[in-house]
Amino acid sequence: MPYGLAALCVVSLFGLKDTGIFINEHVQTTYSGNKVYFEVGEVANIIDESNDGYIVSKGKAKVTVPVEKVKLTESEITTYKVIKNTSIKDSEDQILRNLFLGEEVVLVDDLGENLVIKSDDNIKGQVAKANLELVGTETIKYDEPVNLDNNVQSIDIEQLEKEEEEIEKIAKQGANIEVDEYVPSTDNAKASEAIDLALEHMGTKYVYGATGDGGFDCSGLIYAVYKNKLGINLPRSSSEQSTYGTQVSRNNLEPGDLVFFNTAGGGVSHVGIYMGGDNFVHASSGQGKVVISSLNEDYYDARYNNATRVL
């Protein structure tokens, strides 16, 4: 590995094509007022960094995402060597630091005649491309927790793997639940309709970001039932849905209520529709489809967060 590159992997972790995975759900509003949704497990295409987090592209949108919501999985590091006496300058052409011959820097962005680079002491700025020589590009894969020097939280990979194993275990335990065993006992016609609409999709494939076009994610199922079918003006993400409507205690749940869970350790990240009898229907990433589970299962009991009534 070229001199200084190991340190740069820890300090900056940024190249032109960094990749991560969302470990928490995130919703970001663009300057035009549109909302961009990211689900747990969705790939994060990182194109740059700012003081506020990772700059992530999705379609034509580019938004800033807090670093604690993404776990880095891969970085493409392009290294250059200084071949002429030069300096790193800011956007106003002010010198930030002189570079010495033979020093190696990491590419952040290609501006044409100038490159945006980062030095091994974490100085970021522009350098004339003519003063640099390409050393090469290396893809770094992260199989262990990544620690940054700029107050970024480390990711406990072992804990995440345990979470996934537990999800699979609970999914298998609930796989034999029969839909016919659960008949909503409610006088609320809207609640019964909501549950029936959700049950029509039993077994439908779990698909990140989908609201019915080929599948559902957890909040997408809720959105499809309550907004698209029943006309309830729900927001799109589970975290936003968890604050919509009237908060109700777990002891006072009624069929049709929405139940929310903290499955990723960073706030609400999962949602289902309460059916009565401590059961709820939801789009499960663990089972990969729409299923029925029990609030009393160890996994969901430990991660229960709150409930809202929207009907």
What positions carry a catalytic annotation? 218, 270, 282
Residue by residue, DSSP assigns 82-143 as E-S-EEEE-TTS-EEEEE-TT-EEEEEEE-SSEEEEE-TT--EEEEEGGGEEEEEEEEEE--
Instruction: Name the token pair of 70.
Output: 């993404």
Query: Is the distance from CB of 291 to CB of 284 less than 8 angstroms?
Result: yes
State phi, psi for 177 to the nearest 5 degrees: -65, 130
The set of residues, in sequence order, having a beta carbon less than 8 Å from that of 159 and lying 6+ positions away, is none
**Rounded distance between C-alpha atoms, residue 176 and residue 201, angstroms:** 17
CA-based R_g, the chain, Å: 24
Residue 62 CA from chain centroid, whole number: 15
* Short-list 212, 214, 254, CA closest to 236: 212
**Rounded distance between C-alpha atoms, residue 31 and residue 237, angstroms:** 19
Q: Is 241 exposed, middle or buried (0-12, 13-18, 19+ CB in 10 A)?
A: buried
